[in-house]
Amino acid sequence: MRKMLALVLIISAGGFCADTQPPPKEISEYKIDSAGTFTASKPDISISNLESLLKPLRKTQLEKEAEGWMEILQNNVQQISAAEISDAPPEEISKLHEQRTDIIDRLLRVLEELEQKGGDIEEYKKYISAVSKANVDVSDVNGTSKCLLTG
């Protein structure tokens, strides 16, 4: 009985052959919860890591993931609008536009995977198209040139 208990303790503690090395830091930071979402706290995830994490997800999980990215995109677009209304420096607005591009790139990867697994992505694509159009005030020569050079 003692030998059996000792064996159980060793196995539950990691065993003889268990790999005690933690996974690479970047990967270990991305935990997929039971709903299938993991990006809300990591919108700067690399595209290759995102694609790897999306592979095992089912359609319903990918739909939730797409909604998470849509919220991130919507928040970014709201920040852009607020910056434009408050006449923020062009550099700040440009940075927000770059962030929007990065967010859309990742959202499109989620949508590609969702579509492959039978999901309907039309509404998402329409929203992306609507918020991707640049609003350029051509009467503002400095702002227009900066937008064209950075956008």
Report the alpha-carbon distance of residue 62 to residue 76 in Å, rounded: 21
Residue 39 lies in a domain: no
What type of residue is 9?
L
pLDDT at residue 43 in the model: 80
Q: What is the pLDDT of residue 22?
A: 46
Phi, psi of 78, deg, nearest 5: -65, -40
Cβ-proximal residues to 16 (8 Å cutoff; 6+ apart), any chain? 10
Q: Where are the alpha helices (DSSP H) in the chain?
A: 2-12, 25-28, 47-54, 59-85, 90-116, 122-132, 141-150
Q: Can you tell me the mean pLDDT for 77-90?
A: 95
90: in domain: yes
pLDDT interval class at 70 (50, 70, 90): very high
Looking at the domain assignment, is residue 70 inside a domain?
Answer: yes
Is 66 inside any structural domain?
Answer: yes
Q: Is residue 68 part of a domain?
A: yes
Under 8 Å between Cβ of 37 and 64: yes
Total domains in the fold of the chain: 1
Tell me if 75 is assigned to some domain: yes
> Does the residue 125 lie in any domain?
yes
Task: Tell me: pLDDT of 33 over 80.
Answer: no
Range of the domain at 51: 46-132
pLDDT in tens, 88-142: 999 999 999 999 999 999 999 999 999 999 999 999 999 999 999 765 555 555 5
User: Is the model's pLDDT at 16 over the cut of 90?
Assistant: no
Q: Which residue has the tokens 């536009």?
A: 97
* Under 8 Å between Cβ of 39 and 106: yes
Domain presence at residue 28: no
The reported pLDDT for the residue numbered 42 is 77
Helix axes 90-116, 141-150, angle to 10 degrees: 40
Q: Across residues 28-47, what is the average pLDDT?
A: 62
pTM, whole model, 2 decimals?
Answer: 0.67
